[in-house]
Amino acid sequence: MDIAVLGTGAVGRALAGRLDGLGHSVVMGTREPADTLARTDVGPTGTPSFSAWREEHSTIGLATFAEAARGADLLVNASSGAASMEILRMAGADSMAGTVLLDISNPLDTSAGFPPTLFVKDTSSLAEQVQAAFPGLRVVKALNTLTAALMVEPRSLGQSSTVFVSGDDADAKAVVVGLLESFGHEDVLDLGDWRLPVGPRCTCRCGSGSWERSERRTSTSRSCADLGWGAGQGRPEATRVVTTATRKGGRQRRSDDVG
């Protein structure tokens, strides 16, 4: 497939590199390609500079968001949640019409420091807002509960894990599920449509990598869609604990995934 990865931070690089290794034609989208190529600074978590990374991934293209999105079979939103709407507008609604968008962003608000809060929650989700703003896109939420390394190499965890998808387009979800399985994800849980009034109630134990889900018919928290849960129907287990994001040292920051 021709795949456009929107965002050049740690998450975007991990996905672009893995997709390229699997034989896909990959272009990364950024605001100003020349400026991005000129970056020599190391990221806040020790992420190598983009220029250093690109030297080892020369087969991956780099273009503006609009150029990258044009003609892509699949789009990956690997930008920060705060920048997602602006970046998708820069990509262009017409260019993206009819295209599947794998949305990995989270609506994290770090203005008050860490741990962050959510700037979209309770009655809506960032994925739902993206779909509403760009009705031509076929939005699928997935991978956003994982660190960049586990997104693309789940077997490195050393134990079985579950990854979640949600969205209202069954064919689009099938495309994303196929991609996840090619990464090595063996248990993909479809949570249905995030806009349904039935959804799982979820809590995160930050740094532990465990997500506890207690599905209740009374739950309507759509913010869970932005944490990989969605407000979809899900499976009818009463309680299930799933290890999804174990990382030595806690959860990875994505503040540099802004393209």
Query: Whole-angstrom Cα distance, residue 50 to residue 125?
Result: 31
pTM of the predicted model as reported, rounded to 2 decimal places = 0.78
Q: Which of these, 85, 182, 64, lies nearest to 130 by C-alpha position?
A: 85
Q: What is the rounded radius of gyration, in angstroms, for the C-alpha atoms of the chain?
A: 17
The answer for 113, left when phi > 0, alpha when psi is -120 to 50, beta otherwise, is: left
Tokens 């503040």 belong to 255
Task: Domains for the chain: give ranges and CATH numbers.
Answer: 2-243 (3.40.50.720)
**H helical segments located in 27-157:** 33-37, 50-55, 65-69, 81-91, 93-96, 126-133, 148-152
Query: How far is residue 154's CA from residue 180's CA, in Å, rounded to a whole number?
Result: 10
**Residue 184 corresponds to which tokens in the numbers above?**
């090595």
Residue 194: predicted pLDDT: 66
- Tell me how far apart the alpha carbons of residues 8 and 28 are, in angstroms, rounded to a whole number: 7
Give mean pLDDT in consecutive 10-residue pieces for the chain, a chain of 259 residues: 96 97 98 93 81 94 97 95 93 96 90 85 85 95 94 94 94 98 96 58 33 34 45 32 34 40
**Nearest to residue 29, comparing CAs of 110, 91, 108?**
91
Nearest to 130 by CA among 204, 225, 64, 32: 225
